[in-house]
Amino acid sequence: MSDLIERVEVLVSRPARNYVTLRLTTRDGIVGLGDATVNGRELAVASYLRDHVGPLLIGRDPGRIEDVWQYLYRGVYWRRGPIGMAAIGAVDVALWDILGKRTGQPLYALLGGRVRDRLATYRHALGWDLPALLEQVDAHREAGFDNIRVQTGVPGLDIVYGISSGPVYEPAGRGAAPVEETWDTDSYLRHIPGVLAAVREHVGDSVGLLHDVHHRLTPIQAARLGKAVEPVGMYWLEDVTPAEDQEALRLVRQHTTTPLAIGEVFNTVWDCQQLISNRLIDYIRVAVVHAGGISHLRKIFALAEVHGVQAAPHGPSDVSPVSLAASIHLGIATHNFAIQEYMGYPDLVHEAFPHAWHVAEGHLQPGDEPGLGVSIDDDLHNPEDYEPAYLPVARRRDGTLTDW
């Protein structure tokens, strides 16, 4: 058969930042791409793909997308986890890409067709102090974006999640070992409600404001913050508590009507089953790359739809333009998909992954090329460019390691 998988390539490269990309090629030359980037642990997933998954794909029918998913998930016996699920996700997305190219259809058409004309997105505004933050908020508004995530410095702390000294923030890549940040919850909780209120005052009512707490609070602290910012009318507060404790969100929920978003570190539907079925969150943030690909995200989003929870996937610079394409196609075709994070990329990343998806009038569009509509510029994917780059870790003032 001419359409079986013939070649499996795992590209580890650094066009401005590290990415792991899977490229599957069929005997008749159709190419499918998948993103397998796990920020700070790239080589682990590359090895999983090269050493264990790749050899099992040669000679397999790329059209049996669900069966391949089940084969790689159930067939391995060991379950879940970011490395295995990123590898499965990359294979899944590459197979959907091949199907699109074989049938000449953009992916969203194969996923049921458009349910909306354009996909809402949000951009990041960051600033150490309020004037610097408002400058970025204004710049995004002038560029046509209606939803903005705001992150700011905390008095007394040197480095804070989501902020850099320059205009661009990159979570990883600050050396061969993780940077150690100092964290102080009390200072943060005293400072942030006033900042969010000032931003609301500045932008007026029509802008969606989001803020990422990045897993830093206990349930009762999160409840207090949610309550304190109710007058701001936030679009959401994100990752208020470490997400693996699903039951913790019940306490937060009992105290506040501020919408809650969670899930960028989840890998499967079982990580968020209670959160969704008990309606403890408003937005589920699983990403195509980290939660088993398009096939598995569709199941998570279907469960969410039944329980009135909306989809809002993770989309930082470490989710490559390949995954972002998959998410945009899924978003344009999924009824309960609310918004797609789009942090943006350095120019070199856009050049390394030429893509049909684009921003138009403050919204995302998938483009109409067959499959994902993303290709690879091989010259910009040199394995020698790879450099270890870790996410930071955080310690409280007394030295205790805490959630970053």
Partner whose binding site includes residue 380, from Mg ion, ligand CS2, none (CB under 5 to 8 Å by kind): none
Closer residue to Mg ion (CB): 32 or 263: 263
Question: CA gyration radius for the chain?
Answer: 21
Identified catalytic residue from 122, 161, 188, 342: 161
Hey, is 8 helix, strand or coil?
Answer: strand
Catalytic status, residue 214 = yes
Amino acid found at 74: R
Cβ distance to ligand CS2 smaller for residue 32 or 331: 331
- Contacts with 238 (C-beta within 8 Å, 6 or more apart), sequence order: 149, 210, 211, 212, 213, 214, 260, 261, 262, 285
Cβ-based neighbour number of residue 51 at 10 Å:
10
261 binds, among ligand CS2, Mg ion, none (CB under 5 to 8 A by kind): none
In the complex, least distance from residue 40 CB atom to ligand CS2, rounded to whole angstroms = 7
Q: How far is the CB of 356 from Mg ion (least distance, A)?
A: 26
Give 219 or 316: the residue with its C-beta nearer to ligand CS2.
Answer: 316
Q: Which candidate, 208, 205, 148, 214, places its Cα nearest to that of 185?
A: 214
- Which residues of this protein are in contact with ligand CS2, per CB under 6 A? 39, 171, 212, 214, 264, 314, 316, 318, 341, 343, 391
381 an active-site residue?
no
Question: Smallest distance, Å, CB 288 to ligand CS2?
Answer: 13
Residues 170-229 that bind Mg ion (CB under 5 A): 212
Q: Assess contact for 179 and 207: CB atoms under 8 A.
A: no
Q: What's the token pair of residue 200?
A: 């609301």
Catalytic residue among 211, 214, 290, 329: 214
Sign of CA dihedral 246, 296, 111, 122: positive
**Residue 66 CB, nearest approach to ligand CS2 (Å):** 28
User: Between 5 and 196, whose beta carbon lies closer to Mg ion?
Assistant: 196
The alpha carbon of residue 202 and the mean position of all alpha carbons in its chain are separated, in whole angstroms, by 28
Active site residues: 161, 214
- Residue ranges in contact with Mg ion by CB under 5 A: 212
